[in-house]
Amino acid sequence: MRERQSLYKPKPLYYKAQILCSKGGIMISLRKLPGYPIWHVESDNRWELAMTFLRIEEFYECPNPDFQGKVFSLEAYMDWYVREYSKDKKPVGAFTYPSDWAAFNVPGSAVLAVYTTFTQHSEKEQWLFRELMKQGAFAEKQFYLIGNRCGADAYFEHEYRHALFALNTAYRQEVASIIDGYALPELRTWILERYAPTVLTDEIQAYALTGWPKGCRTTPEMTALKKQLKVVEKQHIPAS
């Protein structure tokens, strides 16, 4: 899921990455994180980061059925995004995807789908696939890919929780059971206005553990949920 919001920094999990690529002064890196098959992309340039993830992310969860789960070109997606989201922005007609989305997370199945079914991969996609292959990600039965700009450790924390939710069955079942016990009407409404219903529980746990979204009032029920989830989280995050 792509992330717009600013988050506070919780328990530090952030790991500095080795620079693997430098293009025209732009730095982008990839490394495997400890404990789970999670690979982390980091760049000092939001355009570089966003355009590396775009087709994988939108294949995975685009709200437009013309793109979700479909093969599509960057040009087709960019045209649609401008028509759909530039109406109230200045300058009108600008492609603002890289500035709209600050961080990314996708399951390995989406990465592999774009790698195997899309044609004419961009240079950024080619770099990503090449590095994932070199580092052994494609040999894993299951893996997860997250990304953020350099130093944005709060976004990293949020994306890491999505990866943990996807990869750790015991963690996922425990937090889902806890969340089912809370009504959370305002938070659920806020999330469902921005995300697909299929990721509702995942988004609730990620926000609860790494910082509530701006524009969503924090209720006593949300505070109680956060406290309960923190106990579970400690049992599943590897020591850094």
Structural domains of the chain, count: 1
Residue 60 CA to residue 15 CA, distance in Å, equals 26
Split at pLDDT 50, 70, 90, the class of 25 is: low
Q: Could you give the C-alpha distances from 27 to 43, 54, 72, 123, 145, in angstroms and in order?
A: 5, 18, 27, 14, 18
197 found inside a domain: no
Question: What secondary structure letter does DSSP report for 216?
Answer: S
Residue 234 CA to residue 240 CA, distance in Å, equals 12
The average pLDDT across 210-239 equals: 93
200 found inside a domain: no
Question: What secondary structure letter does DSSP report for 138?
Answer: G
191 found inside a domain: no
Which of 65-69, 173-177, 236-240 has the highest average model confidence (pLDDT)?
173-177
Residue 229 CA to residue 11 CA, distance in Å, equals 13
State whether the Cα torsion 176-100-106-136 is positive or negative.
negative
Q: Do the Cβ atoms of 30 and 128 come closer than 8 Å?
A: yes
Split at pLDDT 50, 70, 90, the class of 7 is: very low
In this prediction, residue 4 carries a pLDDT of 53
45 found inside a domain: yes
Q: Could you give the 3-state DSSP secondary structure of residue 104?
A: strand
Residue 33 CA to residue 70 CA, distance in Å, equals 30
Residue 93 CA to residue 122 CA, distance in Å, equals 23
4 found inside a domain: no
Confidence check: pLDDT of 212 > 60: yes
Show the CA angle centred on residue 194, arms to residues 124 and 206, nearest 5°.
Answer: 75
6 found inside a domain: no
9 found inside a domain: no
pTM: 0.85
Q: Could you give the 3-state DSSP secondary structure of residue 198?
A: helix
Q: What is the DSSP string of 170-186?
A: HHHHHHHHHHTT---HH
Q: Do the Cβ atoms of 114 and 155 come closer than 8 Å?
A: no
29 found inside a domain: yes
Confidence check: pLDDT of 117 > 60: yes
Split at pLDDT 50, 70, 90, the class of 204 is: very high
The average pLDDT across 142-163 equals: 94
Q: Could you give the 3-state DSSP secondary structure of residue 29?
A: strand
Find the domain containing 36 and state its range: 19-168
